[in-house]
Structure 1
Amino acid sequence: MSIAEVSGKTLDELVSLKGRRAVVTGGGRGLGKAIALRLAEAGADVLIGDIDEDLAHEAAADVAQRYGVRAVGVAMDVADSASVAAAADRAVGELGGVEAWINNAGIFPSIPLLEMSDADWDKVFDVNARGVFIGAREAARRMSGAGTGGVIVNIVSTAGFRASAPGLAAYVGSKHAARGLTRELAVELAPLGIRVLGVAPSYVPTEGNLLMLRQALAAAGMPEGQEPPTALMGTGPVGRPGVPDDIARVVLFCASDLAAFMTGSTLLADGGDTA
């Protein structure tokens, strides 16, 4: 099955996701919710999975109310294959299928290497690398089973291109793994009509990211009560930190037919931070 040739489509048709169904992991807030909102605005029905089921339901209700699409919120632990498979089955059962799957869920605890336990390392890789593998596998099984093809977008990080900061060995390693998986899965899944792309943000302040950043800076000795210096992080040549919608727009591009001839690449969405 080859990827469709779409040069005869209008620009509106290329951007539109009307009639398609998308899954966003870690979609209850932050980047994930921004991504779900943009996909829904383009016309996609959306299943939002999150480790916090209440957040998933709240986000789905907001998406449905804003854009009039079908939106479902479910509890999902991306490191648990049964949990991911159950969410994928709900997307098929309640939305009718899956044509786009966004592996967004991730964590970045800061633990100095000499203090890092095997369990600490495994937890990061379970979410950031194993979660990408499981999500891609379950998405591809349903896309190929339905004969529809589709697209898988993995949220990587600039940490998938370079070292990041002390204490993030597991995070940097897991994001390099996610970037490598993106390239390998693109080759393996192309004959099934499935494209695989990565999007690599620099640091983007969100509710969840700020909490993890505070924890990371506390581990590095930041005085208690001092706010993280978010204005200094991820500004790059553009002169400002990213916001969730900066990343969501790039994901929408990847998921749409605008990117129909692209697979295997990881697009930097970093304000030039790695230039």
Structure 2
Amino acid sequence: MSTADVSSKTLTDLISLAGRRAVVTGGARGLGKSIALRLAEAGADVVIGDIEEDLAVQTAGEIARRHGVRTLGCALDVTDSASICAVADRATTELGGLEIWVNNAGIFPSVPLLDMGDDLWDKVLDVNARGTFVGSREAARRMTGGGVIVNIASTAGFRGSAPGLAAYVSSKHAVRGLTRELALELAPLGIRVLGVAPSHVPTEGNIAAATAAGVPAEQLAQMALMMTGPIGRPGVPDDIARVALFCASDLSAFMTGSTLLADGGTTA
């Protein structure tokens, strides 16, 4: 199955996701929520899957009120294949299909290599790499008419990042490689696979993680300034969401296998 030539579509039609159904993992807050909001604004019905079920339901309700689309909030543990299957099934049975799947859920604990135990290494790879693999597999099994898988990677998937992030950097390199391989394997099914690689973007999740690790507020502000590249400002979640929307829409219809840097030029 080849993707259609969309040259005759208007710009409005190219960006429209009307009639499409999307799942965003880790979608209850941060980057995931921003991505879900943009997909819904473009007309997609959206399933919010998150480890925090109550927050997923709350976010789904907020998106439905703002954009008038159908939404579902679901408990989702991306380390549990059965949980992923259950969310994918809800999308197809309750919304009627599945065309867009965003693998956004991720964790980023910072532990020096010499102090890192096997369990922590396994957990990071389970969430960030295996969760992306299983999510992509289950989404592809249900995309009977083609679709798009968007994997949220990181600039850490292009280079080393910082001391203490060996597991995270390894997992995001794996996501980039998986994106390229899945693009090859799924192209005959009419499924495109793209990655988005943000630099550090302050969100509720990474601010909470840094605070829990004892990073002072002034150091967090300094980190944000350090991540300012040629664009001249730190990134915000919607900067990443707009790139994800591009990937999910027909604007990117001739693209698959690429991982797009959304980093303000910091990786240049």
Q: TM-score, normalised by structure 2?
A: 0.97
Shift of 1:135: 0.4
1:85 equivalent in structure 2 = 85
Gap regions ≥5 residues in structure 2: none
- Deviations along 1:106-136, one digit per CA (max 9) or x if unpaired, are 0000011001010010000000000100100
2:178 equivalent in structure 1 = 181
The equivalences for 1:89-128 within 5 A come to: 89-128=89-128
The equivalences for 1:29-178 within 5 A come to: 29-143=29-143, 146=144, 148-178=145-175
The one-letter amino acid of 1:240's match is: R
Please give the alpha-carbon distance, in whole angstroms, between the structure 2 residues aligned to 1:225 and 1:38.
29
Q: Contact 2:200–2:224 (CA<8 Å) still a contact in 1?
A: no
Seen in structure 2, the aligned counterparts of structure 1 residues 233 and 26 have a Cα distance that, compared at 3 Å, is: farther
Please give the alpha-carbon distance, in whole angstroms, between the structure 1 residues aligned to 2:156 and 2:162.
9
Shift of 1:5: 1.1
Shift of 1:235: 1.1
Shift of 1:226: 5.5
Please give the alpha-carbon distance, in whole angstroms, between the structure 1 residues aligned to 2:186 and 2:135.
14
Shift of 1:209: 1.2
Shift of 1:227: 5.3
Q: Contact 1:109–1:215 (CA<8 Å) still a contact in 2?
A: no
Q: Contact 1:155–1:199 (CA<8 Å) still a contact in 2?
A: yes
2:231 to 238, 263, 270: 238
Between the aligned residues of both structures, percent identity stands at 74
Q: How many aligned residue pairs are there?
A: 267
2:209 to 212, 218, 221: 212
- Deviations along 1:219-269, one digit per CA (max 9) or x if unpaired, are xxx5x6755234324211111110000000000000000000000000000
Q: Contact 2:125–2:167 (CA<8 Å) still a contact in 1?
A: yes
Please give the alpha-carbon distance, in whole angstroms, between the structure 2 residues aligned to 1:184 and 1:228.
36
SS of equivalent to 2:149 = strand
Gap regions ≥5 residues in structure 1: none
The one-letter amino acid of 2:162's match is: A
Please give the alpha-carbon distance, in whole angstroms, between the structure 2 residues aligned to 1:78 and 1:125.
11
Shift of 1:53: 0.3
1:250 to 229, 243, 251: 243
Q: Contact 1:203–1:233 (CA<8 Å) still a contact in 2?
A: no
1:228 equivalent in structure 2 = 220
Shift of 1:215: 4.0
The one-letter amino acid of 2:177's match is: G
The one-letter amino acid of 2:166's match is: A
The one-letter amino acid of 1:56's match is: A
Seen in structure 2, the aligned counterparts of structure 1 residues 2 and 239 have a Cα distance that, compared at 3 Å, is: same
Q: Contact 2:202–2:224 (CA<8 Å) still a contact in 1?
A: no
SS of equivalent to 2:4 = coil
Shift of 1:211: 1.4
- Deviations along 1:179-236, one digit per CA (max 9) or x if unpaired, are 00000000000000000000000000010011123345x3xxx5x6755234324211
2:20 equivalent in structure 1 = 20
Q: TM-score, normalised by structure 1?
A: 0.95
SS of equivalent to 1:24 = strand
SS of equivalent to 2:78 = coil
The one-letter amino acid of 1:205's match is: P
Please give the alpha-carbon distance, in whole angstroms, between the structure 1 residues aligned to 2:232 and 2:66.
31
SS of equivalent to 1:228 = helix
The one-letter amino acid of 1:247's match is: I
